[in-house]
Each structure stands twice: as structure tokens, then as C-alpha cells.
Amino acid sequence: MIKSFFKSKFVFAIFLLLALLLFAIFGYKYISGLSWIDAIYMAIITISFVGFEELGMSPESKIFVIILVISSAIILGYSIKIITEYIVSLYSEKIKDKKMQKNIDNLDNHTIVCGYGKNGSQVVKKLAAYGKSFVIIEKNDAIITSDRSDKIFVHGDAVLDEILLQSGVMKASSLICTLPTDADNLFIVLTAKQLNPKIKIISKASEETSYSKLKLAGADNVIMPNKIGGDHMASLVVVPGILEFVDNLSIVGKSEINLEEISTDKLFDTITKKTIKDLDLRKKTGCSIIGYKDPEGKYTINPGADLIIEANSKIIVLGKSEQIQHLNSLYNI
């Protein structure tokens, strides 16, 4: 981060000042032949430009003093500039951290993304397209510094309790683990579930053996990117037409949605009994209901018109982007 950059320059500036002081002391001691006390005294008053009294200066001593004064002017000016920048950077970083934490504290039902690598950046891109609020936990300074956008970052290791708490895990609705090692993802799942048992966790897994462990630890969904990628490529050979059609179903962002999952309590008062036919979404919005998810999480593909809709269930609709937008507008979703 910027703070670490200025810190390294700050250390270098301090080193230059110490080197200059030692150079002055030893110069006065061995060139001018002064005692150690007089050498230290002359070195300090010369470098600080407070003026000094000549103590039996030889021509060699005068040349040394000329070199010392010029060196002092350059090094002291540079060091003051760097030290000032470092102090300012610490202050601005502190203000920035306070502002960031205030933004996090104001969030509710947000998503925490652990890791901002290849998978994490894709997750953030999709969440941003849907207008979802999120917090990114990343411990790599370079990755955070390279992203100049207004994303909310928490700098630290997501396996630590304090970092998860700082990212608002107690109020978050979901957490996505995209760290490269399954062991780290497993630890985050265990910690997050302990801190907030209600949070929905989606974790990445690299190894087949990690799948069951992550599920047992509390992950609601476990995704294996390598397996999904392999299945996708094979499907392009086996059923290319179907897969190309599915790929063309856009779920990129609010303005380009063809598929949408909607909670049924947003469509009507679920105390009353209604069927798919009673909703009549096709006539009202042009959207077709292609799937139904009951309260237990069981899916029904292409549900029949007489299927009774239960409370806490969801429907999946298909339509043109403008039809989806009309549905969302009609039901204030």
C-alpha cells in the first residue's frame, strides 16, 4: 500500500541522516583533530545550520566543512521532505481507514468476498453488475493498490476473527471464499459460521477431497472451478447447440438479465394459496416460469400450472431483459 511505500523511503531518509552525522563526527575528529565532545558538538551545529565558532581550522578542515555544509543542505532537505510525506501518509491512511470502516458499519445484508484474485475479481464484477453491496478482504498490498476504484477493501488475512469482524460478518448475508488453498477456505468457513450461524457461505474448492470437508464445516455451496471448466468444454463437444443457447442467456447485470430468481413472498401474500396459473406472469409481464424451488431447496423444472406455491419458496423466470425489468417494476422488486 501507499503507507508501506512511504515507510521504506522514511527508513532510507533516517539512514541518510545518521550516515551524515557519523561522517561529520569522524571528519571533525580525524581531519580537524578535535576531541570527541568537540567533534560531536561541531557536527550537530553544522548540520543543523545554527552557525558555529571556528576551532583552529586548517585548510583541510575548511574543505571538509564546505563539503559537509553542501551535503547537509541536500540530505537535510531531502530527509525533511520524505519524513513530512510519511507523516502525512500516515494521517491520510488513518482517515481513509476510518472512512472505510464507517462505510462497512453502515452496510447490512452485504456480501464478503475473501480474496481478490482471478476468481474473486470475477465475483466482485458480477456483484457490482447487480448493484449488490460487498466488502473485499485481501492481504496483498499490491493488489489493493492496483485497484483505484471505490471498492471497499479490508486489508488483512480473512482467516483471522478480527478481520472478519472488521468486514461486518455479523451483519453480512453471505460470504464467498475464493482463496487459492482449500485449507484457508475451510478455516474461514468454520470461523464465519461460528461468528454468524445464519450467514450463507459459498466456497471454492480445488481438490475433490475438500468438497465434503467444506460442506461439513458449514459451506452452503462448494464450487470447483476446474471441474466446471472441464464439464463446460466437454459439453461444447457433446451438446454444443444447447450449451451455446445457455451461454447466451445473459445474467450479467440489471440491464441485461434474461434469467431471474424471485422470492414468492414478493409476488403475493403467501398466507393465501396460489398456483403457478394464478400468478399469470406470462400474461402480465411476458416472462415464463421455468423453475420452482420449494422451501426445502428441491427444484422442479418447468413446473405445471396447477403446482401450489408455498411460503418461503422461489421461482425462476425466463424472459427478455425488458420483460424482466417490467416484472421487477410491477412487483417493486
Predicted confidence (pLDDT) at residue 2 exceeds the cutoff of 80: no
Q: How confident is the model at residue 164 (pLDDT cuts 50, 70, 90)?
A: very high
Q: Tell me, what's the pLDDT at 251?
A: 54
Q: How far apart are CA 116 and CA 146, in angstroms?
A: 11
pLDDT tens string 252-309: 555 566 788 888 888 888 788 889 998 888 888 888 998 999 988 888 989 998 998 8
Ranges 43-57, 60-74, 190-204, 284-298: which has the least confidence: 43-57
Q: Which CATH architecture has domain 255-330?
A: 2-Layer Sandwich (3.30)
Q: Tell me, what's the pLDDT at 112?
A: 95
Q: Which residue has the higher pLDDT, 138 or 96?
A: 138
Q: Which residue has the cell 450467514?
A: 199
Element (H, E) at 263: strand 259-263
Q: Which residue has the higher pLDDT, 255 or 33?
A: 33
Is the CATH number of domain 2-103 1.10.287.70? yes
| pTM score, whole prediction | 0.62
What mean pLDDT do residues 80-93 have? 78
What mean pLDDT do residues 228-249 have? 75
The distance from CA 306 to its chain's CA centroid, rounded to whole angstroms, is 46
Predicted confidence (pLDDT) at residue 159 exceeds the cutoff of 70: yes
Q: How far apart are CA 246 and CA 35, in angstroms?
A: 87
Q: How confident is the model at residue 240 (pLDDT cuts 50, 70, 90)?
A: confident
Ranges 48-52, 86-90, 251-255: which has the least confidence: 251-255
Q: How confident is the model at residue 245 (pLDDT cuts 50, 70, 90)?
A: confident
Predicted confidence (pLDDT) at residue 72 exceeds the cutoff of 90: no
Predicted confidence (pLDDT) at residue 148 exceeds the cutoff of 70: no
Domain ranges of the chain: 2-103, 108-229, 255-330
Q: How far apart are CA 24 and CA 47, in angstroms?
A: 8
Q: Which residue has the higher pLDDT, 212 or 50?
A: 212
Q: How far apart are CA 308 and CA 317, in angstroms?
A: 16
Q: Tell me, what's the pLDDT at 250?
A: 53
Q: Which residue has the higher pLDDT, 301 or 144?
A: 301
Q: How far apart are CA 6 and CA 207, in angstroms?
A: 41
Calculate the average pLDDT of the chain.
Answer: 83
Is the CATH number of domain 108-229 3.40.50.720? yes
What mean pLDDT do residues 203-223 have? 91
